[in-house]
Chains A and B, each alone.
Chain A
Amino acid sequence: MNKLRIALTKGRLEKDTVLLLEQLGYDCEAVKNKGRKLVLPIKNTNIEVVLAKANDVITYVENGVCDIGVVGKDTIMEMGGQFYEVLDLGYGRCRFAVAAPRGCRFYDGFEVKRIATKYPAVARRFFEGKCMDVDIVKIEGSVELAPILGLSDAIVDIVETGTTLKENGLEVIEEVADISARMIVNIASMKLKKPEIEELLTKIESFRKGKTA
């Protein structure tokens, strides 16, 4: 039987995915008590789990060193790449939105707007779709700070509950896209390890169907 290597995005998606795998009957002991190890076997299976940062999950899967990855749609939208995006896992739900200082009329006027974001590609595509010329400024940390300090007119960022926005005097102006955790599969792996991958996908799908039914 072929070995399957799964890359999980470290942090919340990792925990949710481990929970899902456990509910499917996989023994994730090694993943939960990983210590400093980065490659973790799932007992009594041919599956091996790798923990990585979101962008790296895509890179590993795209290059075929991992067969499967679990990564947020936000990262997929920003990075792109060649892989199969086979499942919406349903957890890690949030959305991309444009937010600006409360009460400001963002779309008014003819001057070029400046947008601060951690996701320049997503922001670029969104405003291109509106035929709007905008200046995009890449920010690494708390993007909400940019309009407060006067660096930008608005931000494009991930919004979960909206509390951070509210507390900083910002409001959602427009939704860009819904986000959730996705399972991605390397193109060659899908073909060369079809039975193993399909088994896992079917298990997850029927489990999720059972839950929603």
Chain B
Amino acid sequence: MKQFDRITPEGTRDLLFEECLVRGRLQRSLANLFQLRGFDEVITPALEFYDVFTDDAAYLPQQSMFKLADHKGRLLVLRPDCTTPIARLAATRLKGAASPLRFYYNQNVYRMERQLAGKSCEITQAGVELMGAPGEKSDLEMVELACASLRECAGESYRIELCHIGFFKAIMQSLGTDAATAEKIRQLVENKNYAALGDMLAQFGENDAVCALKRLPRLFGGEEILEEAAEVFCQNGAREVLDDLKSLYRSLESLGLRDKVMVDLGLVSLPEYYTGITFQGYLSGIGEPVLSGGRYDSLVGQFGRQLPAVGFAINVDLVGRYLMASGMGCCVKSPDILVHSDKAHMAKAIRYRNLRISEGFLCEVSSFDTAEEAKAYALGRGISQLHLVGDTVEILRMAGADYE
């Protein structure tokens, strides 16, 4: 007996009507925004070789990927991330293409999430990658685009948070510890686990790096954080990092984004992957970042072409949920007209429907045998006119509340 034929796998779901409309509208407006700025769409396969995601800079643990095997027994995964395949394609198919390359995408990623925690395993992302452009100018372009994207999606309620992984790396360089300890410290900073971080750092005694690390989780807020950070630590290039962030912040300020952009120097995720600025976007009422991105100058190089790069992805599902929850979703519109005919006049009914559609009406053709059934259906579905097509056409206005 079949056991699972009436449900979808955990972490997946069907999207119906309104949700599809909201998602479609989001994807179109983002695609439009990206296109107007010179980004072109790419679509990569949903299936990729596992090897694509196992380079040093890839950050996904193997247990988070959905795996299957091809007919030669080679290990495949359902694309767990959009950026890595685009890096692959930029370094291979577009080997000879002049840089910079501007890509945008609209596709799903698949990740095995913790069970029973309300997490989706299938996430729709819309994102952009700018490859072959180093430095501050493209950082600014992308952070501004991140702001513009969230504004386009959800109005003015968004916030973007900026970090530069270089600040953390500079401190860790001065601390000088083994990789395992460094990773533990990083996690404690990222989770703002002040207490455990203090305990962990006790073994290193008192020095600039230790003081800086203890302060790091608290270094979030407005522009003033950058001044504070400069007092905390400025060796090993940390000063330059903070100067870069400051000039980026100033530029964003002059673009009118002062209220939107915050700084969190403790946002130290994926230090193997990110090489420069990182940023995340938030919408009120959504408990996790809806946008995340940053500079990853070494990823494309793993595939054989050195291209500095920066990009971000928007979690379309979360933004959609935000829009629905805040009443900014959209309603599915009922047809204006239902066209009914008997079997003999069906061809005429179809011609008649096409004519009405060309006049701008939303028009559906009836699949019922009798006019009574068609009428009941029109009433139930909120269709305000029933057109009976026979040798002549009779128009019935339905006594719907909205019509009266």
- Do A and B form a real pair? yes
**A-to-B contact residues, CB < 8 Å:** 59, 61-65, 80-88, 182, 185-192, 194
Instruction: Provide 30 A-B residue pairs closer than 8 Å at the C-beta atoms, listed in order of the A residue.
Output: A59-B117, A59-B118, A61-B287, A62-B287, A63-B118, A63-B287, A64-B286, A64-B287, A64-B288, A65-B287, A80-B114, A81-B117, A84-B191, A85-B191, A86-B193, A86-B194, A87-B195, A88-B195, A88-B196, A182-B195, A186-B287, A188-B282, A188-B284, A188-B286, A188-B287, A190-B192, A191-B159, A191-B161, A191-B262, A194-B221
Given A187-B289, A188-B287, A194-B282 contact (CB < 8 Å): no
Given A59-B117, A63-B118, A81-B117, A192-B159 contact (CB < 8 Å): yes
Whether B264 sits at the interface, judged by CB under 8 Å, is yes
**Residues on A with beta carbons closer than 8 Å to the beta carbon of B159:** 191-192
Classify chain B: how many residues form its interface, as a range: 20 to 34
**Residues on B with beta carbons closer than 8 Å to the beta carbon of A190:** 192, 220
**Residues on A with beta carbons closer than 8 Å to the beta carbon of B191:** 83-85
A84 touches B193 (CB 8 A): yes
Whether B256 sits at the interface, judged by CB under 8 Å, is no
A62 touches B117 (CB 8 A): yes
Binary contact readout B178-196 vs A (1 if CB under 8 angstroms, 0 otherwise): 0000000000000111111
**Residues on B with beta carbons closer than 8 Å to the beta carbon of A65:** 287
Option from A62, A86, A88 in Cβ contact (under 8 Å) with B192: A86
Within 8 A of A (CB), among B264-304: 264, 282, 284-289
**B-to-A contact residues, CB < 8 Å:** 114, 117-118, 159, 161, 191-196, 217, 220-221, 262, 264, 282, 284-289
A187 touches B114 (CB 8 A): no
**Residues on A with beta carbons closer than 8 Å to the beta carbon of B286:** 64, 188
Given A63-B118, A194-B220, A85-B289 contact (CB < 8 Å): no
**Residues on B with beta carbons closer than 8 Å to the beta carbon of A185:** 192
Alpha-carbon gap, A190 to B220, bound state (A): 10
Alpha-carbon gap, A86 to B190, bound state (A): 11
**Residues on B with beta carbons closer than 8 Å to the beta carbon of A85:** 191-193, 195-196
- Of chain B, the residue at the smallest CB distance from A61 is B287
A188 touches B288 (CB 8 A): yes
Alpha-carbon gap, A155 to B285, bound state (A): 41
Alpha-carbon gap, A192 to B286, bound state (A): 10
**Residues on B with beta carbons closer than 8 Å to the beta carbon of A182:** 195
Which are the 3 A-B pairs with shortest beta-carbon distances?
Answer: A64-B287, A88-B195, A84-B192
**Residues on B with beta carbons closer than 8 Å to the beta carbon of A88:** 195-196
**Residues on B with beta carbons closer than 8 Å to the beta carbon of A82:** 288
- Of chain B, the residue at the smallest CB distance from A194 is B221
**Residues on A with beta carbons closer than 8 Å to the beta carbon of B117:** 59, 62-63, 81
**Residues on A with beta carbons closer than 8 Å to the beta carbon of B264:** 191
B193 touches A192 (CB 8 A): no
**Residues on B with beta carbons closer than 8 Å to the beta carbon of A59:** 117-118
List 8 other contacts, CB 8 Å, given A80-B114, A84-B217, A191-B282.
A62-B117, A62-B287, A63-B117, A83-B191, A84-B193, A87-B195, A188-B287, A191-B159
**Residues on A with beta carbons closer than 8 Å to the beta carbon of B217:** 84
**Residues on A with beta carbons closer than 8 Å to the beta carbon of B193:** 84-86
**Residues on B with beta carbons closer than 8 Å to the beta carbon of A187:** 287-289
